[in-house]
């Protein structure tokens, strides 16, 4: 009994615990600021930030260790709505959201905002179509639902296949990001940074599974949101945009439109290509005005949204709430916490662009002499690490818009320096980026390892395995998959965002319709679901291969980032056609579907299964 | 038994209708407003061109508000049909 009392009091005390934690973190930032003014070197401060935060996450991971099945797989199903919302937000916002999104908007302008819309609106699908029903079902993993709803190990296996392909694509990008940030902050080679990042990730998840990941993700959300908002608000205050800069940058958008004409953005093209960097050629506020352009916008939005609702590491977060009602509320809170970052990113991109373009500001770059620009401290620093380059292609000694090359990531990473904020803010940003990448990697690794340990090992290979064996297998798999992902990440196959978008496309191609129709269409049967998963995945992968490497021209602008449209379309057709050609599911299955549609009553699967 | 089945049917019909309404709202804010962004940009809201605003902020805000309202509405349906969980 005393164990349960302690559990209860832990949950009741969560606001106090995380309040203290937040206060402690703010205090730590203050101490670092004092250390900086006392002359502590910048490298040491960066190291302290990354080292200290990882140590805290590891401590939480160790404190949350468990040998209970439902604690390991679904955090004991007692995570309160608001905290699950924060954990989901951290689970969701990856290195790409934190580091690359604002830079993408800076470079791409309006068309890139498709990511902002797509990565938020997907939660409407999660709340309305999926999460409450999967919670009522009571599964441990997403393939657990597929396997039980449709019946048979083969359907389950197909679910695991899609999950592994989508999540593994995603996790390599995250481990790549942790490696990049760790190598910069700790001054170690990238290859070492990748393995060190993995060690940190495993410390958070290995001993306590979902329970440990939940409580570290809440801690990581707090760090990442502070790290994202503080520099933007500080910078906008310096520029006189006030305390809530997100609401008042409309005039900056108009100002940029004037400056773009002056600097001939879009007219002047770069004379040469610089690997990994680009010069600004897209206007900030130029919405797609051609048919293909509009198609590209809405198909990207659709892929990111439907992908959101199919990604197992997100769906499984809603298995951890105490009730169906809480799962539904928790999706709303998740989106609220995600919104805080996503509606800030376009503001950050706009402010940074204004600082670079506006000759009236001391920070401006375009239109100044090459000598002046090269003398700027932040330009020197980021040029030396290959994030930025000035090439005077026309030899007039002045930096034109097409002569200033940079990597998009710099918009977030260098904001504090561009705006002349103290270095302690840069350390904070590094810690935030690390938190974002680690928390997503945690969730993804756990999703893969849990599917393999629960759905493959326990359900197919050894159904008689006892709890101890199941949890040991789960942990061994976690380490093995982490190591495989780190090995792939150290090859640096693609840039962060390319791989992230693909993960969404893979997930929606194989999983979206089998999941949705499993809940909303009682007639859907095993044969249909298997066809939906395999045909969707197969056609999607074929299309990706053909447009990316096979030399095929994309259909109406649907390129490799959007292949999920083709995959999910094929999946829907295959699933409906095959289902209608084969007999309907038996009475027991239909009753099960009725059961998950009402919140009250016991879950379909028992609390430990 | 038959009243229970009846209740379940009413509950599911109302749930499905709510789903359809929210999918329509979702569709408008996800696709329609962005498809007509060049037209919307002629309107200005809080000094923003409306088309840009919707993509950078407006649609996001709509989704957040929509989900809190959806969760209230679905809870009401569950309660009124006697399908809510015991808390």
Residues A71-90: tens digit of each pLDDT: 999 998 999 999 999 999 99
The CA angle A79-A431-A113, to the nearest 5 degrees, is: 80
pLDDT, tens only, B16-54: 999 999 999 999 999 999 999 999 999 988 889 999 999
ipTM: 0.96
Which of B31, B68, B85 is opposite residue A323, by nearest beta carbon?
Answer: B85
- Mark yes or no for CB contact B37/A288 under 8 Å: yes
Question: What distance separates the 2 farthest-apart alpha carbons in chain B?
Answer: 60
pLDDT given for residue A2 in this prediction: 37
Higher pLDDT, B87 or A341: A341
Helix axes A291-308 and A113-125, enclosed angle (nearest 10): 40
**pLDDT of A607 strictly over 70:** no
A302 with B53: Cβ contact below 8 A: no
Mutation target vs B (from A122, A287, A597, A601; most B CBs, 10 A cutoff): A287
Mutate to test the interface with B, among A117, A251, A288, A345 (most CBs of B within 10 A): A117
**Phi-psi region for residue A105, left (φ > 0), alpha (ψ -120 to 50) or beta?**
alpha
Which residue from A185, A254, A166, A195 is spatially nearest to A447, judged by alpha carbons?
A166
> Does the distance separating the beta carbons of B31 and A302 come in below 8 Å?
yes
A139: left (phi > 0), else alpha (psi -120 to 50), else beta? beta
Work out the minimum CA distance from B66 to partner chain A, whole angstroms. 8
> Under an 8 A CB cutoff, do B67 and A113 touch?
no
Confidence (pLDDT) at A567: 97
Residue A209 · residue A474 · CB < 8 Å = yes
- Residues in chain B, total: 87
List, as own/partner pairs, every contact residues B69-77 make where C-beta atoms lie below 8 angstroms and the sequence separation is at least 24, other chains included.
B70/A124, B70/A127, B70/A128, B70/A328, B70/A332, B70/B18, B70/B22, B71/A127, B71/A325, B71/A328, B71/A329, B71/A331, B71/A332, B73/B18, B74/A132, B74/A328, B74/B15, B74/B18, B75/A325, B75/A328, B77/B11, B77/B14, B77/B15, B77/B18
Contact criterion met (CB below 8 Å) for A270 and A471: no
CB contact under 8 A, B67 and A123: yes
Residues of A in contact with B4 (CB under 8 A): none
Are B70 and A247 a contacting pair at CB < 8 A?
no
Nearest-by-CA chain B residue for A327: B71
pLDDT at residue A378 above 90? Answer: no
Instruction: Round the average pLDDT of chain B to a whole number and report it.
Output: 92
In angstroms, the CA A287 to CA A540 distance is: 28
pLDDT confidence band for A38 (50 / 70 / 90): very high
Q: What is the largest CA-CA distance in chain A?
A: 79
Contacts of A347 in chain B (CB under 8 A): 56
Of B11, B67, B87, the CB nearest to A331: B67
Assign B49 to helix, strand or coil.
strand
pLDDT in tens, A185-220: 777 888 888 898 899 889 888 889 999 999 999 999
Helix (H) or strand (E) holding A389: strand A388-390
- pLDDT at residue A6, as a whole number: 47
Chain B residue numbers touching A249 (CB-CB < 8 A): 48
Rounded distance between C-alpha atoms, residue A60 and residue A54, angstroms: 10
Q: Give the separation between CA A609 and CA B11, rounded to whole angstroms.
A: 29
**What is the b/e burial string over A34-71, where b = at least 16 CB atoms within 10 angstroms of the residue's CB?**
eebeeeeeeeebbbbbbeebbebbbebbeebebeebbb
- Quick one: tokens of A72? 């390991």
Q: How many helices (H) and strands (E) does chain A have?
A: 28, 2
What pLDDT, on the 0 to 100 scale, is given for residue A4?
39
> Are the C-beta atoms of A587 and A523 separated by less than 8 Å?
no
A293, pLDDT greater than 70: yes
| CA distances (Å), origin A311, targets A142, A214, A424, B15, B18 | 9, 17, 36, 24, 24
CA angle A120, A126, A129 (to 5 degrees): 135
Closest CA of chain A from B3, distance in Å:
15
Structure tokens at A463: 């159904």
pTM of the model: 0.94
The nearest CA of chain B is from the CA of A597 a distance in Å of 7
- Give the confidence band of A359 by pLDDT, cuts at 50, 70, 90: confident
Residue in B6, B10, B34 to test binding to A, most A beta-carbons within 10 Å: B34
Q: Which residue has the higher pLDDT, A346 or B6?
A: A346
| pLDDT band, residue A493 (cuts 50/70/90) | low
Chain B: closest CA distance from residue A254 (Å): 8
> Residues A496, A169: contact at Cβ < 8 Å?
no
User: Which residues of chain B make contact with A294, given a CB cutoff of 8 A?
Assistant: 34-35
Q: How does residue A269 score in pLDDT terms, banded at 50, 70 and 90?
A: confident
User: Which residues in chain B are contacts of A597 at CB distance < 8 A?
Assistant: 8, 11-12, 15
Q: Which two tokens stand for residue A600?
A: 């009250």
Q: Can you tell me the distance from the alpha carbon of A235 to that of A103, in angstroms, rounded to the nearest whole number?
A: 16
Q: Which residue has the tokens 């004037």?
A: A258
Structure tokens given for A604: 């379909």
Distance CA A31, CA A29 (A): 5
Please give the C-alpha separations between residue A227 and each of A51, A164, A420, A486, in angstroms, as whole numbers: 15, 31, 16, 26
Beta-carbon separation of B85 and A599 below 8 A: yes
State whether B74 and A328 contact (CB < 8 Å). yes
Considering CB atoms only, which of B48, B51, B83 is closest to A287?
B51
**Section A301-321 average pLDDT:** 96
pLDDT tens column, A407-429: 888 888 888 888 788 889 989 99
pLDDT bin (cut points 50, 70, 90) of residue A446 is very high
Mutation pick from B57, B59, B72, B81 vs chain A, by most beta carbons of A within 10 Å, is B57
Average pLDDT over every residue of A482-501: 77
Residues A359 and A366: their CA atoms lie apart, in Å, by 7
């Amino acid at each position: 009994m005393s164990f349960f009392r302690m559990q209860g009091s832990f949950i009741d005390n969560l606001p106090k615990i995380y309040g203290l934690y937040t206060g402690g973190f703010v205090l730590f930032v203050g101490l670092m600021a004092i250390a900086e003014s006392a002359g502590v070197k910048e490298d040491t401060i960066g190291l302290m930030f990354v080292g200290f935060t990882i140590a805290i996450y590891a401590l939480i991971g160790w404190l949350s260790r468990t040998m209970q099945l439902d604690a390991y797989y679904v955090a004991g199903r007692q995570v309160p709505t608001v905290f699950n919302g924060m954990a989901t937000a951290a689970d969701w916002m990856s290195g790409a959201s934190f580091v690359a999104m604002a830079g993408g908007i800076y470079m791409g302008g309006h068309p890139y905002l498709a990511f902002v819309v797509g990565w938020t609106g997907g939660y409407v699908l999660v709340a309305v179509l999926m999460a409450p029903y999967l919670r009522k079902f009571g599964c441990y993993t997403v393939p657990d639902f597929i396997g039980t709803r449709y019946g048979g190990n083969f359907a389950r296996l197909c679910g695991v296949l899609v999950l592994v392909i989508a999540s593994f694509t995603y996790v390599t990008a995250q481990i790549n990001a942790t490696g990049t940030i760790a190598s910069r902050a700790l001054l170690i080679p990238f290859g070492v940074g990748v393995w060190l990042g993995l060690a940190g990730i495993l410390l958070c998840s290995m001993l306590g599974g979902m329970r440990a990941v939940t409580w570290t993700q809440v801690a990581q959300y707090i760090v990442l949101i502070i790290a994202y908002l503080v520099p933007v608000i500080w910078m906008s205050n310096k520029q006189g945009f006030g305390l809530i800069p997100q609401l008042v940058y409309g005039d900056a958008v108009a100002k940029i439109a004037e400056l773009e004409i002056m600097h001939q953005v879009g007219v002047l093209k770069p004379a040469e290509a610089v690997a990994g960097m680009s010069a600004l050629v897209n206007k900030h506020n130029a919405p797609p005005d051609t048919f293909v352009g509009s198609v590209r916008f809405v198909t990207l939005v659709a892929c990111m949204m439907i992908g959101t609702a199919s990604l197992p590491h997100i769906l499984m977060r809603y298995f951890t709430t105490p009730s169906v009602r809480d799962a539904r509320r928790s999706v709303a809170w998740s989106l609220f916490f995600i919104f805080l970052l996503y509606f800030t990113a376009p503001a950050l991109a706009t402010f940074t662009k204004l600082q670079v373009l506006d000759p009236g500001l001391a920070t401006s770059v375009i239109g100044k002499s090459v000598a002046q620009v090269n003398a700027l401290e932040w330009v020197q620093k980021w040029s030396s690490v290959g994030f930025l380059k000035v090439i005077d292609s026309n030899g007039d000694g002045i930096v034109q818009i097409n002569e200033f090359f940079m990597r998009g990531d710099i918009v977030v990473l260098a904001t504090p320096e561009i705006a002349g904020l103290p270095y302690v803010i840069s350390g904070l940003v590094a810690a935030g980026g690390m938190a974002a990448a680690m928390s997503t990697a945690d969730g993804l690794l756990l999703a893969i390892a849990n599917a393999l340990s629960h759905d493959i090992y326990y359900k197919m290979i050894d159904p008689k395995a006892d709890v101890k064996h199941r949890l040991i297998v789960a942990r061994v798999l976690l380490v093995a998959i982490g190591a495989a992902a780190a090995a792939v990440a150290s090859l640096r196959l693609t840039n962060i965002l390319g791989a992230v978008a693909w993960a969404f496309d893979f997930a929606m191609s194989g999983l979206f319709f089998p999941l949705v129709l499993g809940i909303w269409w009682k007639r859907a049967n095993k044969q249909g679901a298997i066809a939906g998963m395999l045909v969707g995945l197969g056609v999607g992968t074929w299309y990706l291969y053909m447009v990316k490497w096979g030399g095929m021209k994309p259909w109406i602008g649907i390129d490799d980032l959007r292949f999920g449209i083709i995959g999910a379309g094929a999946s829907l057709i295959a699933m409906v056609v095959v289902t209608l050609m084969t007999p309907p599911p038996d009475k027991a299955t239909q009753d099960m579907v009725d059961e998950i549609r009402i919140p009250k009553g016991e879950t379909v699967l028992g609390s430990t299964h | 038994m038959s009243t229970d089945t009846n209740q379940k049917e009413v509950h599911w019909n109302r749930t499905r209708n709510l789903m359809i309404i929210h999918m329509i709202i979702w569709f408008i804010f996800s696709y329609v407003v962005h498809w007509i962004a060049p037209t919307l940009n002629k309107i200005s809201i809080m000094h923003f061109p409306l088309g840009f605003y919707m993509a950078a902020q407006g649609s996001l805000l709509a989704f957040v508000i929509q989900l809190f309202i959806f969760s209230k509405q679905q809870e009401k349906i569950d309660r009124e049909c006697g399908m809510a969980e015991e808390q």
